[in-house]
Amino acid sequence: MVTQITAVPKLYIGIDIHKRSWKVHCATDLFSGKSFSMDPDPEQLKDYVDKHFADHEVVTAYEAGCCGYSAHRCFESYGWSSLVVNPA
């Protein structure tokens, strides 16, 4: 019998974006996740995801605010689904 993967594993990333640092929380379908702080650089987050979650479909979300939409545009360019949500 040949086993086939029928579901793509998903990685959910919530980000608290600030000018000087990001607080990131990663979770998958199977575990509740890990939180960490990092420099405000989308490329660093992409490197982390590529290293630890290479085969996952990625969904990001962060609050709209003073930092604009540049991170959203970067995430979308990586092929990730990205949401910018109302802080209210």
pLDDT tens column, 46-56: 999 999 999 89
Q: Which two tokens stand for residue 87?
A: 């802080």
Residue 75 pLDDT > 90: yes
For 28, the 3-state DSSP assignment is strand
| 3 Cα distance to chain centroid | 29
Residue 78 has pLDDT above 90, yes or no: yes
Do residues 23 and 45 lie in contact, with contact meaning Cβ atoms separated by under 8 Å? no
- Give the Cβ contact number of residue 7 at 10 Å: 7
Domain ranges of the chain: 1-37
58 in Cβ contact with 78 (< 8 Å) = yes
Predicted pLDDT of residue 5: 72
pLDDT in tens, 52-71: 999 899 999 999 887 788 99
